[in-house]
Every structure is written in C-alpha cells, then in structure tokens.
C-alpha cells in the first residue's frame, strides 16, 4: 500500500485510501524550468506507482504559463500526458486528490507532495532526456538537485550499463521475479515514493548470487514500469 508524506499536515497518508477509487494527481507548474519538470516527473512516477498497484489515476496539469514548453519538455522526459486543469470538472465522489508542488508553493485541500528545487546551471541543452530523467530520480525528491556535467555523466554511464545488462539477460530463458525482490521493489516505492531506494534494489539484483539472468531481466522490466527509464530499449542490439 503506497503511503506518502503529506507536507500540508506533516503526516504519512495512504495515497489511495479507498480500494479501486480514483486518485487525482495534480502537478503544479507555474512556469517552465527544470524544477517544474522535476515536479511533473515526480507526479509521473506517482501515477505509475499507483497504476502498478491497481489504482485508477487521473493526471492533471495545473499551469498557466509556458504550458506548451512544459508539455514538450515533459514528453521528452517520457512523462505521460496530463489533462489540462481548465478542462477538468468536479471530481467524482470519493476521489483522493494529491497535489505535487515545488516546495513552498501553497495549495489548499487534498494531500501535498513537496518537491525540492533543481539547480541546472551549465547543463548542456542536448543532454539525453532519459539521462536527465535518471539524474533527477536519483536524489530523494525532498532534497535539492544540483545538476552538472559530472552528475549527468554518472547517470548516463549507469543507464548505458543497465541497458546493456538487460539486453544480455533477455537472451536467457525468462524466470519469474523472486518474491523477495518484488517485495523489496514495492516496499521501496510504496514508502513515500522512495525512488533512490528502488535504484538501490536494482543494484543489488544485478549482483545477487544464484539469481538466474532471466529473473534479473524480469526484475528490471518490472521496476521500469515505475521508473520509466526505457531499460529494455537495447534488447536485440547485441551481436
């Protein structure tokens, strides 16, 4: 059961309190910059985690300026499309509303999920979008992110390594994700959407003794349903 820290009340709450009831994820981005993209990215990961858990999700963008730029930047990062808030009517009964905001931005009602700012001075404009996605996901959302060439290079190297590994594992017979690995992955993202902990689980899975490569592949593919890093993209590319 996914629980998140409500910055408005200071308490941990269930993200989907009513079984199979709709949860509305509302991303607040007043303008276009890397911090706004991080807000949308956290909302996207929350959407994915709820969806994996079987919760119907309604994703809404609350933004009034540079909306076209926001949507284009979000699409490049693999963020699923949001509905426009101005086109949304009243929520159905029993809808949980989670506001994903830049820390310090005030919202009323619902649950508030705070996202810390991003310092992206000096980041190349031609950076690979999935590399940027991983670099933003690698830090807890409550901590500021300082993006520089070193952080992006590290993310790019990790992404390339994992994709090569996944492509190699995919050549072996498929095996189920071990229950313990599935539990650890879900426990990580269901604990306040702790994406860095999910990444740590994947690092352990890579070298876990006695685990068939087919099971490693399935574990990475399963985690990528939440991470959205296209970890299976290199399948079939190995000679």
The answer, as to whether pTM is greater than 0.95, is no
CB 118 within 8 A of CB 38: yes
Question: For 1-15, 39-53, 219-233, which range has the lowest pLDDT when averaged over its residues?
Answer: 1-15
Q: Break the chain into its structural domains and give their ranges.
A: 3-115, 153-227
CATH number for 153-227 (one of 1.10.3470, 1.20.120, 1.10.8, 3.40.50): it is: 1.20.120
Q: Fill in the DSSP letter of residue 98.
A: E
User: What's the rounded Cα separation, in Å, for the pair 188 and 49?
Assistant: 11
As a whole number of angstroms, the distance between CA 86 and CA 96 comes to: 19
The continuous run of DSSP H or E covering 14 comes out as strand 11-14
Using CA atoms, how far apart are residues 188 and 107, in angstroms rounded to an integer? 27
Residue of 180, 173, 179, 187 whose CA lies nearest to 217: 173
* Residue 136, φ and ψ in degrees, nearest 5: -75, -30
- For position 93, what pLDDT does the model report? 59
Chain segment 97-138, per-residue pLDDT in tens = 999 999 877 677 789 999 999 998 777 778 899 999 999 999
């Amino acid at each position: 059961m996914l629980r998140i820290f409500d910055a408005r009340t200071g308490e941990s709450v269930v993200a989907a309190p009513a079984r199979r009831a709709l949860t509305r994820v509302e991303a607040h981005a007043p303008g276009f910059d890397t911090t706004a993209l991080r807000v949308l990215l956290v909302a996207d990961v929350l959407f994915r985690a709820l969806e994996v858990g079987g919760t119907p999700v309604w994703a809404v963008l609350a933004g009034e300026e540079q909306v076209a730029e926001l949507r284009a930047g979000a699409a490049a990062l693999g963020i699923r499309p949001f509905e426009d808030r101005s086109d949304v009517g009243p929520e159905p009964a029993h809808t949980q509303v989670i506001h994903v905001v830049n820390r310090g931005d005030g919202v009323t009602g619902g649950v508030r999920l705070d996202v810390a700012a991003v310092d992206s001075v000096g980041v190349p404009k031609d950076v690979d979008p999935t590399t940027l996605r991983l670099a933003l996901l690698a830090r807890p959302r409550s901590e500021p992110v300082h993006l520089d060439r070193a952080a992006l290079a590290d993310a790019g190297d990790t992404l390339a390594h994992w994709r090569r590994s996944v492509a190699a594992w995919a050549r072996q017979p498929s095996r189920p994700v071990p229950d313990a690995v599935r539990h650890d992955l879900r426990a990580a993202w269901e604990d306040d959407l702790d994406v860095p902990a999910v990444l740590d689980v994947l690092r352990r899975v890579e070298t876990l003794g006695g685990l068939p490569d087919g099971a490693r592949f399935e574990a990475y593919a399963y985690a990528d349903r939440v991470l959205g890093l296209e970890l299976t993209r290199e399948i079939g590319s190995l000679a």
